[in-house]
Amino acid sequence: MIVVDDVHKRYQTEHGAGKWVLRGVSFNIQPRVSVGMVGRNGAGKSTLLRLVGGVDTPNRGRIERHCRVSWPMGFGGGLQGSLTGRQNAKFVSRIHGHELDIPDRLAYVADFSELGDAFDEPVKTYSSGMRSRLQFALSLAFDFDVYISDEVTAAGDASFRAKAAAAFKNLASHAGLIMVSHDEGTLKQFCSAGIWVHDGQAHWFDQIDDALRAYKESIAA
Amino acid sequence: MTGSMGNLRSSASITLSAWNALFLREAVSRVSGRRAAWLWLLVEPAAHLTVLMVIFSTIRHRVMPGFDYALFLAIGILGYNLFRNSATRSMAAISANRALFAYRQVKPVDVVLVRAFLEGVIQLFVGLIMIAGMSLVGLEALPHDPLTVMLVFALFWLFGTGVGLMLSVGSTLIPEIGKMANLCFIPLYFVSGVLFSPAMVPPALRDWLLLNPVMQGLELARAAFSPSYHVVTGVDLYYLMAFAFASLFFGLAVHVRFARRLLMQ
């Protein structure tokens, strides 16, 4: 279970404190619930994902994670460009306390990402599709109770997307998912509940369809 | 899906596994990053020493009473490099590892401390190899008081780590601080007595130079190598020690104070 209670967030800019991105966001995510997050560009979806993932801290309010939450996958974060895919995978295994079964994890990541020889090349030589395949395989190599995905399913070619979709479906039986996507089909496919981020607030909907409807009405208005 | 995470891990075990992973990640890029990167770690101080030897003992015929001049310079270079590299390498640690803060297990203070530790290990090996090399070519390069040498070099490393902790926060929040710091290390090299002994300087100027804890440390290290080395009055081990621990304290304090600001992008 994840508790988000009265979270406020603003960023420091070159000219002092910036505008409030989130103003008093509260919701609870129960175990094994898949949540889709919708909202306009810049509404604060990625900020909220980073806060839930523990990468950043709120200025006010609190976030409690009573379970194992993945890092936010997406946007090429979490990969060190000068290291190879394999070295990055080893690094991630170690910080997650898997020093002893690194060979198993590496085999899984190499197999799932289908990078082939590129797995031993520096990540900075990768295309964006290859990077997101590596990120996706990395996060699937570890057991989390909640996976956080920031548009990561949008990347990759058609066959990899099909494979990623199957893996996500498989996850849903034993883990929760929090995902940001601008693709309605993706959200409907994977998510049951929805969060609409609008005007510094987050509105919870038990049905993703309702969240999408509220979002669309706000654009039309 | 393979394996399981087991129970939630304790904070200490998370930090330890993050340090372990960061250390190996840093060591890989430092030692095998570029072509023969490990060789350059040795060549750089050795070339530095050779150039200075050519200038000062062959051209200017400088001699140091009670000391082999090559060893005198080598101690200065090793001590100063340990301090400077610990400070500048750890200063750059946050920007070099920005991508890894996507994992909440990794905090800014972790990457700085791990880099400083790796730098200490590297400089230890460089120092041992240089001393061994100088002994092999017949110089009296072994210290008569090895414990004091180790203590002084440990203090250089701690002082560099403390300065690096402070500068890593400073240069992340205000980039100009990083540029200024890199500029300041050039004059610091010349006033730290790498090339000369404070005994060679007029007393009025010497009192000012001795305010520099790095210079005091180099004097202490030289005295620990050779019992006949003349140490000027006013050199005190506790002076360097105070600087080392004060900088560590303030370095860690600013990391606590600005922990959130450092993570912001």
Give the model confidence (pLDDT) of B96-112 as tens digits.
888 888 888 899 999 99
CA distance A179 to A35: 6
User: What is the per-residue pLDDT for B234?
Assistant: 84
For residue B191, give Cα distances in angstroms to A111, A176, B72, B151, B206: 57, 61, 16, 22, 10
Rounded to an integer, the average pLDDT of B180-197 is 91
Strand ranges for chain A from DSSP E: 2-13, 16-29, 34-38, 60-65, 69-73, 146-150, 176-180, 193-198, 201-205
Q: Which two tokens stand for residue B216?
A: 């005091």
CA distance A148 to B250: 36
Nearest CA in chain A to B34: A82
Beta carbons of B247 and B182 less than 8 angstroms apart:
no
Nearest CA in chain B to A65: B8
User: What is the per-residue pLDDT for B160?
Assistant: 97
* B-proximal residues of A, 76-105, CB under 8 Å: 76-83, 87, 90-99, 101, 104-105
Name the 3-class secondary structure at B60: coil
Query: Are the Cβ atoms of B100 and A99 closer than 8 angstroms?
Result: no
Strands A2-13 and A60-65: antiparallel
Using the structure block, give the residue that is written with the tokens 């109770």.
Answer: A145
Query: Are the Cβ atoms of A143 and B103 closer than 8 angstroms?
Result: no
Quick check: B30 pLDDT over 80?
Answer: yes
**Which of A65, A91, A123 to mutate to probe the B interface, most B CBs <10 Å?**
A91
Give the model confidence (pLDDT) of A29-51 as tens digits.
888 888 999 988 888 888 898 88
**pLDDT-derived band of residue A179, with 50, 70 and 90 as boundaries?**
confident
Which residue in B13, B25, B101 is closest to A55 by CB distance?
B101
Query: Are the Cβ atoms of A95 and B18 closer than 8 angstroms?
Result: yes
Nearest CA in chain A to B15: A95
Neighbours of B180 (CB within 10 A): 13
User: What is the per-residue pLDDT for B257?
Assistant: 94
Nearest CA in chain A to B16: A95
Quick check: B6 pLDDT over 60?
Answer: no
Q: Please state, for a pLDDT cut of 70, what percent of chain B lies above it.
A: 95
User: If 0-12 CB within 10 Å is exposed, 13-18 middle and 19+ buried, where does residue A27 land?
Assistant: middle
DSSP bridge partners of A37: A180, A195
- d(CA B50, nearest CA chain A) in Å: 33
CA distance B167 to B160: 10
Q: Does A16 touch chain B (CB under 8 A)?
A: no
Given phi > 0 = left and psi -120 to 50 = alpha, else beta, which region is A8? beta
Q: Does A142 touch chain B (CB under 8 A)?
A: yes
User: What is the per-residue pLDDT for A143?
Assistant: 86
Strands A146-150 and A176-180: parallel
Question: Considering only CB atoms, which chain B residues are within 8 Å of A143?
Answer: 1, 3-5
Domain ranges in chain B?
2-264
The sheet carrying A193-198 orders its strands as: A69-73, A146-150, A176-180, A34-38, A193-198, A201-205
User: What is the per-residue pLDDT for B265?
Assistant: 58
- Mean of the per-residue pLDDT values for chain B? 88
Enumerate residues 6+ apart whose C-beta is below 8 A from A116.
Answer: none
User: What is the per-residue pLDDT for A156?
Assistant: 67
Of these ranges, A70-84, B36-50, B145-159, the one predicted with the greatest mean pLDDT is B145-159
Question: Considering only CB atoms, which chain A residues are within 8 Å of B110?
Answer: none
CA distance B167 to B181: 8
Query: Are the Cβ atoms of A78 and B260 closer than 8 angstroms?
Result: no
Query: Are the Cβ atoms of A82 and B20 closer than 8 angstroms?
Result: no
**pLDDT-derived band of residue A75, with 50, 70 and 90 as boundaries?**
low
CA distance B23 to B110: 10
- d(CA B114, nearest CA chain A) in Å: 14
- d(CA A174, nearest CA chain B) in Å: 11
Of these ranges, A76-80, B18-22, B101-105, the one predicted with the greatest mean pLDDT is B18-22
ipTM (interface predicted TM): 0.83
**Backbone angles phi and psi of A39, in degrees to 5:** 155, 165
Give the model confidence (pLDDT) of B56-81 as tens digits.
877 777 777 767 888 888 899 999 99
pTM above 0.80, yes or no: yes
Question: Considering only CB atoms, which chain B residues are within 8 Å of A96?
Answer: 5, 17, 105
Across the A/B interface, how many CB contacts are shorter than 8 Å? 91
Query: Are the Cβ atoms of A53 and B104 closer than 8 angstroms?
Result: yes
Name the 3-class secondary structure at A193: strand
- Mean of the per-residue pLDDT values for chain A? 86
Query: Are the Cβ atoms of B20 and A68 closer than 8 angstroms?
Result: no
In eight-state DSSP terms, residue A157 is: -
Give the model confidence (pLDDT) of A93-145 as tens digits.
999 888 888 999 999 999 988 888 999 999 989 988 888 888 888 888 888 88
Q: Which two tokens stand for residue A170?
A: 């498989």
Give the model confidence (pLDDT) of B211-238 as tens digits.
999 999 999 999 999 888 888 888 899 9
Quick check: B3 pLDDT over 70?
Answer: no
User: What is the per-residue pLDDT for B35?
Assistant: 74
User: What is the per-residue pLDDT for A99?
Assistant: 84
- d(CA B158, nearest CA chain A) in Å: 26
Give the model confidence (pLDDT) of A139-175 as tens digits.
888 888 898 888 766 566 788 878 888 887 888 778 8
Quick check: B1 pLDDT over 60?
Answer: no
Angle at CA A171, nearest 5°, toward A170 and A177?
A: 140
CA A133 to chain centre: 14
Quick check: B4 pLDDT over 70?
Answer: no
- d(CA A13, nearest CA chain B) in Å: 10
Beta carbons of A153 and A181 less than 8 angstroms apart:
yes
Query: Are the Cβ atoms of A95 and B1 closer than 8 angstroms?
Result: no
**pLDDT-derived band of residue B5, with 50, 70 and 90 as boundaries?**
very low
Nearest CA in chain A to B12: A97
Quick check: B42 pLDDT over 90?
Answer: no
Give the model confidence (pLDDT) of B121-177 as tens digits.
999 999 999 999 888 988 888 888 999 999 999 999 999 999 999 999 999 999 999
